[in-house]
Amino acid sequence: MTFMPVDTETVLRVQDLHTHFFTDTGIVKAVNGVSFDLLRGERVAIVGESGSGKSAMAMSLIRLLAFPGKIVSGRIDVAGNEVASLPESELNKIRGSLVGTVFQDPMSSLDPVMRVSDQMIPPVMRHLEVSHKEGEAIAERWLGRVGIPDAKLTIRAYPFEMSGGMRQRVMIAMALSCNPRLIIADEPTTALDVTIQAQIVELLKDLTAETGASMLFVTHDLGLVARFAHKVGVMYAGKLVELGPAADVFAQPRHPYTQGLLRSIPDAADGTRKRLFQIPGFPPDMRLPIVGCAFADRCAAVRDICRTEAPESTYRGVNHFASCWAPTGLDQSVVERQVKMPERIVEAELSPDPVRADALRSDVLEMNNIHKHFVRRSILPWTEAKTVHAVNGVSLRVKRGETLGIVGESGCGKSTVARLLLGLEEPTAGEIFINGSAQMVFQDPYSSFNPKMKIFDIIEEPLVVNGQSSRTERADKVCSLVSQVGLDQSFLGRYPNQLSGGQRQRVAIARALALDPSVVVADEPTSALDVSVRAQIVNLLCDLKDELGISFVFISHDLLTVRYISDRIAVMYLGEVVEYGPAAQIFDDPLHPYTRALLLAIPTPDPVREAARKIELVTGELPSPFVLQKGCAFASRCPKVADRCRTEKPVLRNFSRQRETACHYAA
Amino acid sequence: MLAYSLKRLLQLVVSTFGVVTLVFFTLRLIPGDAAAALAGDTITGEALERLREQMGLNKPILAQYLTYLWDLVTLRFGETITTGLPISGLLSQAFPITLSIALATITLSLIIAVPLGAMAAFMAHKGRKTLDNLITTAAMLADLMPSFWTGLVFLLFFSLMLGLFPASGMVSFDDPVTFLKRIALPVMVLSVTQIATMARITRTAVLEVLSEDYIRTARSLGWSEVRVLFRHALKNAALPIVTIVGLSFGSLLNGTVIVEFIFTIPGLGSLLVNGINSRDYQLVQTLIVFYALFFVSVNLVTDLIYKQIDPRVQL
């Protein structure tokens, strides 16, 4: 936040942009009058939930909209070029040279059948008018600059030979290779692990500061915004409802939507477990005309005027604008309305003292030294079979009514643990005891439902399979289950595609609860959901835990949510648990260097704290799962690595009464 | 790669053996045998039995089978039962003709179908439906036309009305121009359906690829639509096209029977039909084994091409 643009040259000026999608079922007005300026070297973050039009807006800036999207009106000025009316051939001279673009999913954004060199060098040759040799040198220099080791070798590689983080670095190198003045980044880190995400964000920050390029950064992660942006624009229903300097917007949000979003994120620093604020309802259907303020139906501070007249963007402070009839948004009215709102913020009791609780509760789940190896054999008898040690000696216990959070980066074996718990995989070695039964809630509820089955049948199915109840008993049970997860009975006759993401996840939870399990294993249950909906699901899970006394195993890479919901946390790295203990203690005082690195990597939605924090990034990536590490699995990335770590494997040992860690030097 | 080649070689041996066995026994399920077919209505009774003895048809069927297998392994294809000509000679005459027709058909079809399909996909992607609908409908119609009908129409039009290509005559490789003129009509007839199928497959594959993220990336780098379509999209859509080419190639070697008949081409198809009609076990068996070997080899080549196009393909 210390960097301020050196001069006030405007690189991008957007005026009253309207982008519509002309679909068969109607005109989707994705972008509805967006205006803002971007100065040289300035980084603006555009935040909003899915469907808010943020990506459509970003893609409009360089006219990369897919059919049937079309810019209907408005002006887009990129360094003196009128993008909206430029002929295609002229536009192609700007794309890739004046404007660089970084996309969301590095796994799919690079051409899979072309070498990096073939994708990177020709654009450089074209835009900078250099020979192939010079182009190659430039490309290699950029690959080195974005932190790719062995650029000369990597440039000959195919994308599939690289990890996601590496591919995103290649993407960034491609976007920057022709010295653009504007970089458009559409959720550039969403598909990456936290430690890699932190690396990429730092990289983008450094590179924009060095080159003086401006950047428009689309994201739904408010923590990233705090870490990264000078300016924030909050989009809702195709409009920028709030726009201002990042520090101001986070310290004093003025629009009720921004205020709601910021309150719906669990607070890492706050030890007490408050109920998460949730924004009720759904975003409006963008095909229908919107009368008044689009947020009115979900707003706690709604007034009569909101329903008839749309608020203009009005001045709320230096460079800070909000579109709301209430000058301070929620603050004044929210207090009176809190009581009436079902989603009121309640001070929950502090979780009971774990030591005392341990004595009262019995274990419902126990895993003893579980191993799961996947073996890939070749047809040639003389070659050695390759073994992936997905889970490598994991012992975990869950007590009745307790929530165990399992965190770790992709490939650490956390999902395999979930599958083992449910008996979907046989462990190679070790034992699992479950007192009762276990059920599962998946990440993507839509793909875990049969699309041809009605909601009633989906929830009833486990009861039918179980075969212990009559038809009427089952119908009663289904009805009570849906009301338990906060859905109306009218949903029972619908199909999964008629439900929103949050509603589907509620159905998934109802299905998991149908057989009264003692443990529910939830594998990334909130990562496919938007922030405001995520808060609803997290609240629901907490309620169910309290009401039913069910134990949860909550697997996620979203550390803030894990911390919020879990009593205990197990941190996994390469198939092993490296740290285990009460959630609060792990967050406040991590013992293992890997846990520390993970926690440092999570951005918190507070620009002041982010600026003050010194981010010590973990370097490198996960080592190959095919090679079993002789010493500590984390040795290759550990900042505190010593010789002993490379030769002797640290075992998970008791550190204090409740905490265990697998590090030689934990203190 | 080595493991893969070994695996495929093993597959080749196993599937060929399966085909040989199946063909040997099914052929003998057909009522009437080669001796009866050869003899026609003239020879009956003892004379016919003697003929059977001469042809080795009186031995136990298992013994015949083993003899046949051994002959195959030692590459002795023998002579046709009915005419006594060496089978290897017949094959070496017919095969080049059929192969040329197949190759020419595939080449012609690819040249026309791929750009057409890519064009249709591009238009569909842009929402300009008219041209796409036109191409798709034309392809569907062409696919519906049976080759005996198109064969006759082409014969009438190109040969009788315009006099461009001969309708019949010697097929020899001596003069390339005459040869090409001679096979032009069959190639065109066969191409009609091939073009229709390939264009449709290309359209589907390219259309799918066009909405991929890396296509947007290519556009974001400033490449023109044409370059994006032909350099990025088509290369990524190539796998299904190669698959269909492989399959077509196989079926062209078998399916030319009707066309060969219409245009009196002495290819493999004619050879097979004659063999079946005269219950010439030896010839039919050998031909079918030959087809099988060819089919499996084409599949192998297809898979190797996959690897060339898409480095991600695991062999």
Q: What is the pLDDT of residues A306-326, one digit of tens each?
A: 888 889 888 888 889 999 888
Judge whether B80 and B38 are in contact, CB under 8 Å. Answer: no
CA distances from A242 to A53, A263, A434, B252 (A): 14, 16, 50, 66
- Which chain B residue has its CA at the smallest distance from A162's CA? B312
* Confidence check: pLDDT of B196 > 90: yes
Contact: B214, A380; criterion CB under 8 Å: no
Q: Which residue in the set A108, A158, A378 is minimally distant from B311, CB to CB?
A: A158
Mean pLDDT of B282-295: 83
One-letter amino acid at A177 equals: S
Judge whether A22 and A70 are in contact, CB under 8 Å. Answer: yes
Mean pLDDT of B288-314: 83
Q: Which residue in the set A94, A104, A110 is minimally distant from B214, CB to CB?
A: A110
Chain centre distance of CA A16 = 30
* C-alpha–C-alpha distance, residues B177 and B102, integer Å: 17
In the Cβ-directed half-sphere of A449, how many Cα atoms lie within 13 Å?
30
Summarised one tens digit per residue, pLDDT across range B220-272 is 999 999 999 998 999 999 988 998 999 888 888 765 788 888 888 888 888 88
pLDDT at A44: 95
Give the H or E element holding residue A520.
strand A519-523
* Confidence check: pLDDT of B101 > 70: yes
Size of interface A-B (CB pairs under 8 A): 84
Contact: B7, A160; criterion CB under 8 Å: no
- Which chain B residue has its CA at the smallest distance from A161's CA? B312
Contact: A110, B219; criterion CB under 8 Å: no
Contact: B213, A109; criterion CB under 8 Å: yes
Mean pLDDT of B169-182: 81
Instruction: Provide CB contacts within 8 A for A339, sequence distance 6+.
Output: none
pLDDT at B24: 84
Judge whether A537 and A321 are in contact, CB under 8 Å. Answer: no
Contact: B214, A93; criterion CB under 8 Å: no
Summarised one tens digit per residue, pLDDT across range A532-558 is 788 888 888 888 888 888 899 999 888
Contact: A113, B311; criterion CB under 8 Å: yes
More confident residue, B197 or B32: B197
Contact: A112, B309; criterion CB under 8 Å: no
Where residue A122 falls among pLDDT bands split at 50, 70, 90? very high
CA atoms A565, A566, A569, A574: torsion sign: negative
Chain B nearest-CA distance from A94, in A, is 7
Chain B nearest-CA distance from A89, in A, is 7
Domain ranges of chain B: 1-82+281-315, 94-277
DSSP per-residue string spanning B18-58 = HHHHHHHHHHTTSSS-HHHHHHTTT--HHHHHHHHHHHT-S
Which range, of A346-355, A459-468, A484-493, B275-284, averages the lowest pLDDT?
Answer: A346-355
Interface list for chain B against chain A, based on CB atoms closer than 8 Å: 2-3, 6-7, 125-127, 211-214, 216-225, 232, 235-236, 309-312
One-letter amino acid at A169 equals: R
Chain A positions touching B122 (Cβ under 8 A) are none
* C-alpha–C-alpha distance, residues A434 and A551, integer Å: 11
Summarised one tens digit per residue, pLDDT across range A177-206 is 999 999 999 988 887 888 888 888 888 998
Chain B nearest-CA distance from A381, in A, is 10
Where residue A5 falls among pLDDT bands split at 50, 70, 90? very low
Per the CATH hierarchy, to which homologous superfamily does domain B94-277 belong?
MetI-like (1.10.3720.10)
Q: Which residue in the set B125, B220, B312 is minimally distant from A112, CB to CB?
A: B312
* Confidence check: pLDDT of A351 > 80: no
Place of tokens 């440039």: A155
Q: Maximum distance among all alpha carbons in chain A? A: 79
Judge whether A495 and A454 are in contact, CB under 8 Å. Answer: yes
Chain B positions touching A378 (Cβ under 8 A) are 3
- Name the 3-class secondary structure at A218: strand
* C-alpha–C-alpha distance, residues A306 and A255, integer Å: 13
In angstroms, what is the C-alpha Rg of chain A?
26
CA atoms A283, A528, A275, A233: torsion sign: negative
Contact: B213, A174; criterion CB under 8 Å: no
Q: Which of B122, B209, B217 is the best residue to mutate to test the A interface, defined by the most A CB atoms within 10 Å of its own CB?
A: B217
Where residue A609 falls among pLDDT bands split at 50, 70, 90? confident
* C-alpha–C-alpha distance, residues A155 and A31, integer Å: 38
Q: In what order do the strands lie in the sheet with A69-78?
A: A26-39, A10-23, A69-78, A81-82
Contact: B217, A123; criterion CB under 8 Å: no
* Residue A62 touches chain B, beta carbons under 8 Å: yes
Summarised one tens digit per residue, pLDDT across range A273-296 is 667 777 877 788 888 888 889 898
Strand A43-47 to strand A231-236: parallel, antiparallel, or no bridges (unpaired)?
A: parallel
DSSP per-residue string spanning B175-202 = SHHHHHHHHHHHHHHHHHHHHHHHHHHH
pLDDT at A96: 92
Q: Which residue in the set A64, A111, A379 is minimally distant from B7, CB to CB?
A: A379
pLDDT at A2: 40
DSSP per-residue string spanning A28-91 = EEEEEEEEEEEETT-EEEEE--TTSSHHHHHHHTTT-PPTTEEEEEEEEEETTEEGGG--HHHH
Where residue A356 falls among pLDDT bands split at 50, 70, 90? very low
Q: Which residue in the set A110, A126, A380 is minimally distant from B217, CB to CB?
A: A110
Q: Which of A113, A115, A142, A183 is the best residue to mutate to test the B interface, defined by the most B CB atoms within 10 Å of its own CB?
A: A113
Write down the number of H helices and E strands in chain A: 24, 23
Cis omega (within 30 of 0) for bond into A68: yes
* Residue A23 touches chain B, beta carbons under 8 Å: no
Q: Which residue in the set A67, A109, A114 is minimally distant from B126, CB to CB?
A: A67
The mean pLDDT value of chain B amounts to: 85
The percent of residues above 70 in pLDDT, for chain B, comes to 96
- Name the 3-class secondary structure at A373: strand
Q: Which of A102, A109, A124, A161 is the best residue to mutate to test the B interface, defined by the most B CB atoms within 10 Å of its own CB?
A: A109
More confident residue, B68 or A552: A552
Six-digit token string for A422:
């449910």
* Residue A111 touches chain B, beta carbons under 8 Å: yes
* Confidence check: pLDDT of A245 > 90: yes
Q: Which residue in the set A103, A104, A113 is minimally distant from B236, CB to CB?
A: A113
* C-alpha–C-alpha distance, residues A485 and A503, integer Å: 9
Q: Which residue in the set A92, A103, A109 is minimally distant from B223, CB to CB?
A: A92
* C-alpha–C-alpha distance, residues A261 and A283, integer Å: 13
CB atoms within 10 A of CB B301: 13
pLDDT at B113: 94
Chain B positions touching A164 (Cβ under 8 A) are none
Chain A nearest-CA distance from B296, in A, is 20
* Residue A109 touches chain B, beta carbons under 8 Å: yes
Q: Which of A97, A111, A216 is the best residue to mutate to test the B interface, defined by the most B CB atoms within 10 Å of its own CB?
A: A111
Contact: B221, A123; criterion CB under 8 Å: yes
Chain B positions touching A127 (Cβ under 8 A) are 222
Helices (H), A160-255: 164-176, 194-211, 222-228, 246-251
DSSP annotation of A497 reads: G
* C-alpha–C-alpha distance, residues A475 and A481, integer Å: 10
The percent of residues above 90 in pLDDT, for chain B, comes to 24
* C-alpha–C-alpha distance, residues B40 and A394, integer Å: 81
* C-alpha–C-alpha distance, residues A40 and A208, integer Å: 10
Chain A nearest-CA distance from B73, in A, is 26
Whole-structure pTM value: 0.82
Summarised one tens digit per residue, pLDDT across range B14-53 is 888 888 888 888 877 777 776 776 666 676 777 778 877 7
Chain A nearest-CA distance from B193, in A, is 30
Q: Which residue in the set A97, A101, A379 is minimally distant from B3, CB to CB?
A: A379
The mean pLDDT value of chain A amounts to: 85
Judge whether B172 and B179 are in contact, CB under 8 Å. Answer: yes
pLDDT at A337: 47
Contact: A108, B212; criterion CB under 8 Å: yes
Chain B nearest-CA distance from A1, in A, is 30
Chain B nearest-CA distance from A141, in A, is 18
* C-alpha–C-alpha distance, residues A430 and A371, integer Å: 6
